[in-house]
């Protein structure tokens, strides 16, 4: 059989939103469609990788020959990511994980009463930071979704979460980011940056996967 560039590599990719339950019928979430993460999965699989996607609730067909693990909440995504990461070569955290969850999920539907109400939120575990802190850690790529000071915040996340690479997108721009078919990324490592201009998420994913692969290879040669 033909030897592809990512043959023999295991890639683990998180995608989509998480849902944080409020009560049996309500939740907090965000606008992630899963398109970007699934495009990365498809691109890596095409280049020969064995791909596992850990996905929040999305309406997408799983790319051919990729394994999908379906989760709902950030805590579930965290459990699955930490279970699979130690045996993975590359981890790409494309999911839009809720930073906070409801402190106490109501067991019955909350009734309408007062004019105002308060929900108490507590911080979720940071999945990509916990993967990057593993003793046998994969090459770890985060995303940064920002609406301002993109480079500044992305570089902060790269350093604070101890990532190998971060792909930053400006999600305030119309026609890219959450739920659109196109996106643009600026990809940072500790010592370089690469601009991937606006294009379809499928083409962007191919270029990102190539860039991850080349950077990962050069770190292994050192």
Q: Does 188 bind ligand PMT (CB under 6 A)?
A: no
* Distance separating alpha carbons of residues 190 and 192, to the nearest angstrom: 6
Q: Which positions are annotated as active-site residues? A: 30
CA 214, CA 217: separation in Å to the nearest integer? 5
For residue 71, state whether it binds ligand PMT (rule: CB under 6 A).
no
Annotated binding site: 99, 109, 125-128, 143, 157, 161
Contact call for residue 179 and ligand PMT (CB under 6 A): yes
Distance CA 167, CA 207 (A): 12
Which position among 13, 145, 187, 204 is part of the footprint of ligand PMT (CB under 6 A)? 145
DSSP 2: P
Q: How far is the CB of 108 from ligand PMT (least distance, A)?
A: 28
Stretch near ligand PMT under the rule CB under 6 A, chosen from 47-55, 61-69, 108-116, 172-180: 172-180
Q: Which region, judged by CB under 6 A, interacts with ligand PMT, from 19-27, 88-96, 110-118, 191-199?
A: 88-96
**CB neighbour burial string for 15-34, b if at least 16 within 10 angstroms, e if fewer:** bbbbbbebeeeebbebebbb
**Which segments of 26-176 does DSSP mark as H helices, in order?**
35-46, 74-84, 127-132, 150-160
Sign of CA dihedral 42, 12, 28, 73: positive
**Is 177 among the residues that bind ligand PMT (CB under 6 A)?**
yes
In angstroms, rounded to a whole number, what is the distance separating the alpha carbons of residues 42 and 67?
11
Residues numbered 123-142 forming contacts with ligand PMT, rule: CB under 6 A: 124, 126-128, 142
211 binds ligand PMT (CB under 6 A): no
Per CB under 6 A, residues contacting ligand PMT are 14, 16, 32-37, 74, 93-97, 99, 124, 126-128, 142-145, 157, 169, 171, 177-179
């Amino acid at each position: 059989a033909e030897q592809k560039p990512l043959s023999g590599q295991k890639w683990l990719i998180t995608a989509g939103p998480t849902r944080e339950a409020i009560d049996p019928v309500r939740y907090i979430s965000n606008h992630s469609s899963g398109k970007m993460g699934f495009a990365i999965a498809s691109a890596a699989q095409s280049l020969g990788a064995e791909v596992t996607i850990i996905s929040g609730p999305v309406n997408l067909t799983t790319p051919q020959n990729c394994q999908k693990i379906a989760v709902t909440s950030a805590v579930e995504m965290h459990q699955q990511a930490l279970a699979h990461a130690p045996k993975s070569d590359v981890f790409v955290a494309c999911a839009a994980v809720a930073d906070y969850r409801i402190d106490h999920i109501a067991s019955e539907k909350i009734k309408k009463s007062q004019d105002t109400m308060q929900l108490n939120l507590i911080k979720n575990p940071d999945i990509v930071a916990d993967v990057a802190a593993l003793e046998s850690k994969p090459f770890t790529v985060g995303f940064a979704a920002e609406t301002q000071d993109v480079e500044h915040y992305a570089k902060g996340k790269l350093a604070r979460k101890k990532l190998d690479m971060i792909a930053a997108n400006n999600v305030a721009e119309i026609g890219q980011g959450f739920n659109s078919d196109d996106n643009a990324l600026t990809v940072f490592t500790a010592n370089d940056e690469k601009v991937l201009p606006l294009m379809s998420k499928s083409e962007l994913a191919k270029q990102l996967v190539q860039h991850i692969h080349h950077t990962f290879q050069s770190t292994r040669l050192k």
